[in-house]
Structure 1
């Protein structure tokens, strides 16, 4: 039943892909769907891009196992969109065309900035993608009872991802994300209503039962994050990192105007907010109705909490229970496909538009040639992702999603903010900020408990490739790497030469960013 439902979703999304293929005739169509997606469609697609398997499976499991501390992931990821709405969405749409690098180069007028911004985009997308494809491999293997191994499942997901993007481009990716978002919201709403029905439509009753089963400490901080600094560091990375995630920022170029970009964020926030509130119901209900032991037995990280909860709500061993389980698993599979497609098109667009056309060819490549190169880049990105996923299939890579947010908040966000608001900022500061934030984040992760640690003899060494005491004590480096990114961008700016045209470029940038003058040949409206 699970495979039948997954097959239906795959066939539906493949149908969308081949429908979209006839509408891809230029690089602009491939990169950003020609900028013709409506605000509502884009908002739903943003939600579909953002609500990944880490959210649906991971957060439900974290709440089921850790209570209050697990819900902090939901809070941080939701609040993050306030940063996007109030600071990034409208100026980004007005200043850029296809990528984050477009926005930076519009003001800084330096191709070195384009190269390093594209490099950061590819690094962030790669880390995020590895976690998704490895998660897909584990999920498919687990639910097939081992009949399909991760070695086979990872290339399967990679192949579907390549087909979606190469054939359908951004238009297909957008509609795949819309379908996935609606399926995910439908599944979570149905599960939440069934949960409330079991507890007298009272969240308080549900929490009371969770406290009775686990003890009162389940509802207060400390189950997962013994050190409060760890939690603060993680939340900083999640809240600030979203505004620097390339695959989310790319979505603002798919709408006609900056006002549509803002509207799409509002639509996305309603969906994302509703979804993350419902994770509190699902996580606590999984703890009470399924039990920690069964969740951990199915998957030590808790990733099977949502599917097992669906089965319990329908009745274990009944047709309804198996139907619910199959549907939730199929939705989780669709979730992974949609997010991976968004990451793939973001990485291939950055390589083709920024590195190949902007840096290597000086912006002389025709639209048709960019279109062809973008498709080849997509295949290359897909193959590399499959290879990296296979190499990492036995590793615990859950931390890579949080690491992607840490890099985005440490390397990308400081440069975005300084570009928009600091008159003195220059290209040297941008390069220092991007590469400095990237290097500091990677260095801290390399000596953190994610990589270093001494496993007990009975455990495998997959969790800790380096068998030694961790030098940096925090799992997420955000509390150190984010200030370091801002500091390095500021130092680089002070060391860089101030050009006569910098003030003029800043004034022109601000005028266009907040009026939209000159975007697609438009003229600013004046009162």
Structure 2
């Protein structure tokens, strides 16, 4: 593929310049409320578009398109899982979370518990999940630039990943939540326009017949018509079928535990706008994920499987290769800019969430025991953003080349294992106590981490992070089937062995979560 590096760099640089100007103009003030939650001044529709921009990551655009192009219908299962998951947020989480907390998930979990240990656990969970999610985005950045600039050396891709990390840190340091939100709104608009236009063009090329497009994709794939039905990737054996169930659980239940998604509910003024945010985000993502089906099969129809897998970035290169087939270097540059915008916006949101949790939950309430001022919190958050950015760069270099949709699914498993059980127990079970919270978070997080480390993700398979060694004993690539129930069980058993909760605080939390009294 003959790309034009200067054109690609120019388009991407233009996006970065525009968004940096926007971030600078709306930059955060020194107050914690503005830096962490934009003072709750965004409307439901604005926050909904930003939510979709925050959530539609490199996994959605690059990873899912590649998974569908190579594996067919089984790749589309990622889209279904990501979308259905928002029902959990809409029906169970959004309003109650907005009414109960202020800046972070730790505000909710610690409301009627012992503050210091619960906030420390919340910070550990947030940092772990954000790191796993961020390295997936960094892997997408490395693969994309390798394709666009024809950079095949590991050192060259590492430099690109470092550059992406540096820009995202600037977004957070200068703009805080307000600037990051506007970057996500701009990125969401660009991404939606891009995928809709690509979808319309592809359908037009095949006479607006989805069947014709899918037949051409099947003809280019060694799996043939198997890619048009379930089972091409996850139906080969009993283990792969269990892996599919595990993946589905992680995708559907993980969104409600993602800290960077939950934090966005504090950028609106009340619970009504929080619910509207979810509705707007769900509608936007419904359009997007339907388009991924057409784009994925279209990528498979335009390029055979060997071409996709042999390109720098492998599966993640399917959408850029399709853009080049359709519109040459210009469209490739535009699609690349949109993909970069996607990566930058998502990692900026993750970085802000991780730094906010460390500063607000750990520094202010664990180390300083609540005796600190907002300016110090913001200062610590900014320094934390630099550290988180550096760690994510190193992690992204390590997993460069992995399918980003798959890596993000692991982050969803961590989120569902560590956070979902404790959030639901806290909001709906009055008996739930501090010990149950700690057992739920650490038990779920620890179980998930151990199973991932000793799974084919890390060793024992050709596409493992360390393919040359084999110390895997857990057969599933996604641990959700075991780790999610384990977290609920740990939270339940821990509660039974813990003391009685503070009834007065439980009453206060119940009234506040349902009515919003005291939340503003």
TM over 0.5: yes
* 2:225 is equivalent to residue 216 of structure 1: yes
Matched, 1:228 2:241: yes
* Partner SS state of residue 453, structure 1: coil
Quick check: 1:44–1:267 contact (8 Å CA) kept in 2?
A: yes
Residue 4 of structure 2 corresponds to none
CA distance in 1, matches of 2:429, 2:148: 52
Q: How far has the Cα of 1:379 moved from its partner? A: 1.7
SS at match of 1:108: coil
Q: What residue number does 1:478 align with?
A: 480
Give the 5 Å matches for 1:438-449. Answer: 438-449=445-456
Instruction: Indicate how the Cα distance of structure 1 residues 394 and 77 shifts in structure 2: closer, same or farther if over 3 A, else same.
Output: closer
Query: How much has 1:451 moved relative to structure 2?
Result: 1.4
Aligned mate of 1:289, from 302, 316, 330? 302
Residues 31 and 169 in structure 1, CA contact (< 8 A), matched pair in contact too: yes
Query: 1:254 and 1:267 mapped to 2: Cα distance?
Result: 15
Q: Does 1:46 align with 2:51?
A: yes
The residue aligned with 2:466 is 464
Question: What residue is the counterpart of 2:323 in the other structure?
Answer: 310
Unmatched tracts of structure 1, length 5 or more:
315-320, 456-460, 521-527
Alpha-carbon distance between aligned partners in 1 of 2:420 and 2:165, rounded to the nearest angstrom? 29
CA contact (8 A) 1:451 1:466 kept: no
CA deviation string 1:117-175 (max 9, x = no partner): 11100100011112212321232233111288122112211110111000111111001
2:3 is matched with: none
Change (3 A) 1:466 1:308: closer
Report the alpha carbon displacement of residue 396 of structure 1 after superposing the two structures with TM: 7.1
Task: Choose which of 269, 276, 280 in structure 2 pairs with 1:256.
Answer: 269
The answer to whether the 8 Å contact 1:454/1:469 transfers is no
Scaled by the length of structure 2, the TM-score of the pair is: 0.94
Structure 2: tracts of 5 or more residues without a match: 1-6
Question: Residue 278 in 1 paired to residue 287 in 2?
Answer: no
CA distance in structure 1 between the aligned counterparts of 2:461 and 2:91, rounded to whole angstroms: 44
- Answer yes or no: is the 8 Å Cα contact 2:194–2:335 preserved in 1: yes
Q: State the shift of 1:28 in Å.
A: 1.0
The one of 90, 93, 107 aligned to 1:102? 107
The Cα of 1:53 is off from its aligned counterpart by 0.6
Determine the structure 2 residue equivalent to 1:493: 495
CA drift of 1:392 comes to: 4.5
SS at match of 1:519: coil
> What is the aligned partner in structure 2 of residue 13 from structure 1?
19
C-alpha contact (below 8 Å) 2:62/2:140 kept by paired residues:
no
Counterpart-to-counterpart distance in 1, 2:314 and 2:76: 15
Q: What is the correspondence of 1:25-64 to structure 2 with a 5 Å cutoff?
A: 25-64=30-69
Q: Report deviation, 1:31.
A: 0.5
Say yes or no: does 1:374 pair with 2:381.
yes
Decide which moves more: 36-45 or 131-140. 131-140
In structure 2, what is the Cα distance between the partners aligned to 1:201 and 1:390?
Answer: 41
Question: CA-to-partner distance for each residue in 1:358-392, whole Å, 9 max, x for gaps?
Answer: 11111121122222222222222222323333455
1:68 corresponds to 2:81: no
The change in CA–CA distance for 1:261 and 1:66 in structure 2 (over 3 A counts) is same
CA distance in 2, matches of 1:508, 1:102: 14
> Which residue matches 2:506?
506
Of 365-374 and 432-441, deviating more is 365-374
Aligned CA RMSD, in angstroms, stands at: 1.8
Separation of aligned partners in 1, 2:468 and 2:505: 48
The one-character-per-residue Cα deviations of 1:170-223 (angstroms, maximum 9, x if unpaired) are: 111001111111110011011001011112212233234334554321111221
